[in-house]
Chains A and B, each alone.
Chain A
Amino acid sequence: KAGVTQTPRYLIKTRGQQVTLSCSPISGHRSVSWYQQTPGQGLQFLFEYFSETQRNKGNFPGRFSGRQFSNSRSEMNVSTLELGDSALYLCASSGTGESYNEQFFGPGTRLTVL
């Protein structure tokens, strides 16, 4: 099975712009979670989607949003970028049954905000 894929791998944006990141989960996985990783704050949960519904959200401002499509692919959007949004954004997918809660991560999208 192919793993979790994320596009693009690298992005450079300027303050005030917006950005959209994409995540394709492992085939058959219906849950997609997003995390932000920074040197200062570590790994922090952004949100989780299951069957196109956001089930859980972390403590991030409303500038961070996401969605999930019927094929389980997910996107996250960050509007009005700030310098502090520079981070590695990781997405993870998980299946059902015994593998529920077992998350498989993609390689991440490295976002740099100038």
Chain B
Amino acid sequence: AQSVTQPDIHITVSEGASLELRCNYSYGATPYLFWYVQSPGQGLQLLLKYFSGDTLVQGIKGFEAEFKRSQSSFNLRKPSVHWSDAAEYFCAVVSSGGYNKLIFGAGTRLAVHP
């Protein structure tokens, strides 16, 4: 069965430090991959997506992610974290059943120290 794994449940970084959130997926064909961010009490905001082509994708708020087929990974990165980046981050893949069914990872909660 398809799955998405986010190994880190909680990460704490200092403001200005770099960030990498890990995501591994299980999917046979070329996946459609997403990163979403959720602030407390809010819905999900799309940060970036990978459908095909360039394996390094740029998103909003200075985030980028790299698709590595050989490692079944789609890690999210940011060179310098801001206090406002504190939130929960979800990696997701479109199900092989299609029709806009997303399979989400468990999420990584990011805390930012001043």
Contact A42 B107 (CB under 8 A): yes
Is the CB–CB distance between B107 and A101 below 8 Å?
no
Q: Cα distance A102–B49 when bound, in Å? A: 8
Chain B residues at the A interface, C-beta cutoff of 8 Å? 32, 34, 36, 41-46, 49, 51, 90, 92, 94-95, 97-107
| A interface, size bucket | 20 to 34
Contact flag A94-B100 (CB < 8 Å), given A42-B106, A101-B32, A101-B94: yes
Contacts of B103 in A (CB 8 A): 45
B44 partner residues in chain A, CB cutoff 8 A: 90, 92, 105
Given the known inter-chain contacts A105-B43, A108-B43, please indicate yes or no for A33 contacting B90, CB distance below 8 A.
no
Given contacts A42-B104, A45-B103, contact A101 B51 (CB under 8 A): yes
Cβ–Cβ contact B98 & A56, under 8 A: yes
- Nearest A residue to B32 via CB reads A101
Beta-carbon contact of A45 and B102 below 8 Å: yes
Q: Are B100 and A103 in contact (CB under 8 A)?
A: yes
